[in-house]
Structure 1
Amino acid sequence: MSSLAVVTPTYGPDAELFALLHRSVLQYTSDDTVHHVIVPPSDRALFAGYAGPRCRVWTYPEILPRRVFQLPGVAMWANALRPWPPLRGWIMQQAVKMAVTALLESTVVLVADSDVVLVRPATPDMFLRDDQVCLFRVDAGVHEGMPDHVLWHRVARGLLGLPPAERLPLPDYVSSLACWDPAIVRGMQQRITEVAGRPWLDAFTSQLRISEFICYGVYVEESLRAQVPINNSLCHFMWDTTPLDEAAALAFADELPAEAVGMMISAKSHTPMEVRTAAIRRCAQVVESG
């Protein structure tokens, strides 16, 4: 078992983006690093060609209990124990990400969205300090102008049995490329189960709005009260939802920080594939020249 694994939930519309990410995983991680991709059953054939020694393709039914099933023709799910309301697809995606991570025995799991690519070699020691897995955290990153993040904090604290936060701002733990400790994820699942009095999966997926990253961060820092090392330099982010032209993409790539192992141009920007690949090539040039 490798000390490093990569976990990516994805689906058919992001297949081209995933191809770029997976190519970068093969290029920049060791030969024993496995990329775990999680897809809906309907997309299994589309991703089946990646399966092999470096890639494990999971489908939701392989991970979820039988009581949780997809509703026909829609990206929504249901839990037979509580059929209403239906479970949202993007929350199920978060849940299977957590479930697969908890199954792994790797020291570090890189959780990577489909629109991320690696741009430098990634080794386990880069994500560890004093044998602890680093945490992505932006101090005071969540303020009153971020109602979704504020709600995610409130929901996470409720699931973990913590009192409401006393005041804003709060830390932000949300990232398209983050490193998780599988043992901590297992502990978080157990804590949610204990607080809710039912399986963690049922409690987590019954939420209408939630963030797995905020749950993880709050659990680490407030439930465990762990003094974990912080690393906010893993990825070079472009969160804008406006498509980039080539000049803007290259200018973004030119700003690649020296510590970043990943680069992300948001899929929501609908940046053309040729522009995205131009940015990836420029990142390679920046790394080579540095």
Structure 2
Amino acid sequence: MIATTETCPPTALVTSSYRGDLARCRLLCESIDRHVTGHSCHYILVEAADVALFKPLEGPRRRIVDERELLPWWLRAFPDPLSFGRRRIWLSPKGPPLRGWHVQQLRRLAFAALMDEVGMISIDSDVVFVRAFDAASFWQGRAFRFFRIPDAPPPIAGNHDAWSVRAGLLLGLGAPPRHDIDYITTLIGWRADTVRDLLARIEDVTGASAMTGLAGSRALSECLLYGRFVDEAEGRRDRHVPTDEQLCRVYWAGEAMGEGALSTFVEALAPHQVAIGIQSFTGTDLSLIRRVAGLE
């Protein structure tokens, strides 16, 4: 039975962002306010130096969270000398320097373990909702949506093999040469109790804090970590409902899209899809995305 907003456990929307994606995150917020229901709050997790920039996005059901509330004291951001200070790098005594996309994952894991809500839907800054979406739809009774595609073809991007091996080591599982289940998507759901159990498992296996283990390598995929834990270690089939439906259609790479191409992209959404994700590095004009999404 699909839960309703009145009957489902509290569910948060969570976005980990940074100043370079501020305009995109603002557009995401507008689309959430227009199209999304059924959530308790939308939390935006940012570096301490970016809090003031994102504060204007706060509202009755949106809060900006300083990463210092989430991450250990020994993991801190500094200007990256290799980019002449234009980018940030996170340094710690526990492992190699981390980039922003690594730390965004750590924020989400830490937040999921601390939040009051039972469920969390992770949404990237470059996602825009174009159809109505009820967060309660992630629940079937007390079970939460769990994305997995079995027998998935080899990915065209990313270092999935290294990510899977690292997840296996952190969780005390085997490390196959290639993991043929795909757990990676956007608009992905996690349970807070599962994340807490996952982090406890890492501590049991490594003999150190979960963040120490996670920060010890740049080979990190939160989706593979969560997916392998649910499938191979958690042993709680009652907590999740597997699905291979991707709710967000993503334009991963290519040339900047014009208005016609964007309109065609949106028109091609499957009936179950509610959002688009246009990767920022494609250079697609935000004003065109706004127009095609009907947010003008």
TM-score range, shorter chain: 0.7 to 0.9
Task: Quote the Cα distance in structure 2 between the aligned partners of 1:36 and 1:6.
Answer: 6
Residue type of the partner of 1:184? T
Note closer, same or farther for the CA distance 1:91–1:169 as it changes in structure 2 (3 Å cut).
closer
The equivalent residue for 2:288 is 275
Shift of 1:248: 1.1
Q: TM-score, normalised by structure 1?
A: 0.88
Corresponding position: 1:46 with 2:60: no
Letter in 2 for 1:36: Y
Q: Which moves more between the two structures, 203-212 or 28-37?
A: 28-37
Percent identity, please: 28
1:96-115 maps to which residues of 2 (within 5 A)?
96-115=107-126
Q: Which residue of 1 aligns with 2:278?
A: 265
CA–CA distance in structure 1, aligned partners of residues 58 and 218 of structure 2? 33
1:44 CA drift (Å)? 1.5
Pick one of 227, 230, 242 that aligns with 2:242.
230
Conserved 8 A contact 1:160-1:219: yes
CA RMSD of aligned residues (A): 2.3
Which of 140, 143, 147 matches 1:129? Answer: 140
Which whole-Å CA distance do the structure 2 matches of 1:211 and 1:113 have between them?
Answer: 15
Structure 1 distance, partners of 2:276, 2:291, is 12
Go from structure 1 to structure 2 and tell me whether the alpha carbon gap of 1:206 and 1:275 turns closer, same or farther (over 3 Å shift). Answer: same
What's the counterpart of residue 288 of structure 1?
A: none
The superposition leaves residues 219-242 of structure 1 with CA deviations (integer Å, 9 ceiling, x where unpaired) of 111111444322323212222232
Compute the displacement of 1:88 (Å).
Answer: 3.1
Q: Secondary structure at the match of 2:26?
A: helix
Distance of 2:264 and 2:209 partners within structure 1: 47
Quick one: structure 1 residues 121 and 92, their matched pair in 2 at CA, closer, same or farther if it must change by over 3 Å?
Answer: same
Shift of 1:280: 1.3
Q: 1:142 and 1:40 mapped to 2: Cα distance?
A: 35
Structure 2 residue aligned with 1:65: 72
Give yes or no for the alignment of 1:186 onto 2:196. yes
Rounded Cα–Cα distance in structure 1 between residues aligned with 2:187 and 2:271: 16
Letter in 2 for 1:149: H
- Alpha-carbon displacement from aligned partner over 1:184-203 (angstroms, at most 9, x marks no partner): 11111111111111111111
CA 1:123/1:144 → structure 2, altered by over 3 Å: closer, same or farther? closer
* C-alpha distance 192-241 of structure 1, shift in aligned 2 (>3 A): farther
Q: Where in structure 2 are there 5+ consecutive unaligned residues?
A: 1-7, 80-84
Which of 138, 163, 167 is matched with 2:174 structurally?
163
